[in-house]
């Protein structure tokens, strides 16, 4: 089955990347190449796009479509290891980088991947199918306290304590194996009156488990400093997030990287010697237009921030 993905904030992301036609660019989240194909259109034969995804299905789908594209280099890798990919290609620095976080529609739409609360499938949720840890391992092995913390923090779910309690009760009887099994437990934990409002009752818990399974927040934290280190002066780092916790990480990291001295204000002289590494280009995050939000519901929570290497 051919699953597609509609790129979010496409025009704005390309504009902010400020593409030089003979430049070298990194797309750290290839997906179905929505952004990558636009970057390629802006490159001459001398330009290069290195596109990375941790999902082998993304790499395979794009490889076929772009077999004639000489400027495109695909790599199956986690974006936090992009430095290894660059080093294998003998690329020391790039002119711009894009990270469009989260899951792609093909991942969500394929029940076998276990990301969707609307489709029955194995409780998997791994973006990289070669990874060991699955959502099933988390749901069946983490302690009640750990589950509550994840569901509350990453899912911002008010009913986290009850959901964690019900998961533990259910798994004592039988292992929770499928997305449908988990949806049933969540529905049982959330009172009926509450379930009537606020969308699908399993949405927040599934989001939390996806973030934990793929270690998404840690990887984002590790990524930003490294990304800036590999940008050429004037090169742009464009990050699109879909979750308030992710956006907060990007906002704080950018702010910190844009500061000179960070010594306490009562220090008579600077002892940290810190120099700003970037200029923040987007004072507030760029969001999708009303039209894009109507046309592509995934874009509703998208926030894009851009920094430029000094």
Ligand X SMILES: C[S@@+](CC[C@H](N)C(=O)[O-])C[C@H]1O[C@@H](n2cnc3c(N)ncnc32)[C@H](O)[C@@H]1O
CB of 110 to ligand X, least distance (A): 12
Buried b (16+ CB within 10 A) or exposed e, 198-236: eeebbebbbbbbbbbbbebbeebeebbeebbebbeeebb
Exposed / middle / buried, residue 13 (Cβ in 10 Å: 0-12, 13-18, 19+): buried
**DSSP per residue over 257-287, as a string?**
HT-S--S-TT-SS--S-----EEES-SS-B-
Q: Is 199 annotated as contributing to ligand binding?
A: no
Residue numbers of the site for ligand X (CB under 6 A)? 5, 7, 28-29, 31-35, 52-55, 58, 78-80, 100, 102-104, 127, 219
CA–CA separation, 202 and 194 (whole Å)? 12
Of 4 and 141, CB closest to ligand X? 4
**Shortest distance (Å) from residue 44 CB to ligand X:** 22
Classify 310 as helix, strand or coil.
coil
Q: Measured between alpha carbons, how far is 184 from 245 in angstroms, rounded to an integer?
A: 27
Nearer to ligand X, 34 or 47 (CB): 34
For the CA atoms of 52, 56, 58, 62, the dihedral, rounded to the nearest 10 degrees, stands at 80
Residue closer to ligand X by CB (options 169, 300) is 300
Q: Judge whether 53 is annotated as a binding position.
A: yes
34 is in an annotated binding site: yes
35 is in an annotated binding site: yes
- The smaller minimum CB distance to ligand X, of residues 189 and 224, is found at 224
Smallest gap from Cβ 276 to ligand X, in A, equals 27
Q: Which is nearer to ligand X, 205 or 296 (CB)?
A: 296
Q: How far is the CB of 264 from ligand X (least distance, A)?
A: 35
Q: Minimum CB separation from ligand X for residue 267, in Å? A: 38
Measured from the CB of residue 83, what is the shortest distance to ligand X in angstroms? 13
For ligand X, give the closer residue by CB, 215 or 277. 215
> Tokens 């940290």 map to which residue?
272
CA 255 to chain centre: 20
Closest CA to 26 of 54, 53, 4, 7: 53
User: Is 81 flagged in the annotation as binding?
Assistant: no
Complex with ligand X: residue 115 or 166, whichever CB lies closer: 115
* Distance of closest approach, residue 173 Cβ to ligand X, in angstroms: 34
> In 3-state terms, what secondary structure has residue 306?
strand
* Two structure tokens written together for 231: 């940008």
Residue 80 annotated in ligand binding: no
Determine if residue 107 is labeled as part of a ligand binding site. Answer: yes
Nearest to residue 91, comparing CAs of 37, 31, 47?
47
Provide the annotated binding site: 33-35, 53, 79, 100, 107
Provide the annotated binding site for S-adenosyl-L-methionine: 33-35, 53, 79, 100, 107
């Amino acid at each position: 089955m051919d699953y597609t993905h509609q790129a979010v904030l496409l025009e704005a992301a390309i504009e902010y990347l400020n593409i030089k036609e003979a430049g070298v660019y990194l797309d750290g989240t290839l997906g179905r190449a929505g952004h990558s194909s636009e970057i390629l259109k802006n490159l001459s034969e001398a330009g290069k796009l290195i596109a990375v995804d941790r999902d082998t299905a993304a790499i395979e789908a794009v490889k076929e479509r772009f077999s004639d594209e000489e400027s495109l280099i695909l790599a199956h890798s986690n974006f936090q290891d992009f430095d290894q990919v660059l080093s294998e290609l003998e690329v020391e620095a790039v002119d711009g980088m894009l990270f469009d976080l989260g899951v792609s529609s093909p991942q969500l739409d394929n029940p076998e991947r276990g990301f969707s609360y609307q489709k029955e499938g194995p409780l998997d949720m791994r973006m990289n199918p070669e990874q060991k840890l699955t959502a099933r391992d988390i749901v069946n092995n983490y302690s009640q306290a750990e589950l509550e913390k994840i569901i509350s923090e990453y899912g911002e779910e008010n009913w986290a304590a009850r959901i964690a309690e019900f998961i533990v009760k259910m798994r004592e009887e039988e292992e929770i194996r499928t997305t449908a099994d988990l949806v049933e437990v969540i529905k049982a934990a959330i009172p009926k009156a509450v379930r009537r409002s606020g969308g699908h009752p399993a949405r927040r818990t599934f989001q939390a488990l996806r973030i934990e399974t793929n270690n998404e927040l840690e990887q984002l934290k590790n990524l930003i400093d490294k990304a800036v280190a590999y940008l050429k002066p004037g090169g742009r780092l464009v990050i699109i997030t879909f979750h308030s916790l992710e956006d907060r990480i990007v906002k704080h990291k950018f702010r910190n990287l844009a500061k000179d001295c960070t010594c306490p204000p009562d220090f008579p002289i600077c002892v940290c010697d810190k120099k700003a590494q970037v200029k923040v280009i987007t004072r507030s995050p760029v969001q999708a237009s009303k039209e894009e939000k109507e046309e592509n519901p995934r874009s509703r929570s998208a926030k894009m921030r851009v920094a430029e290497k000094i």
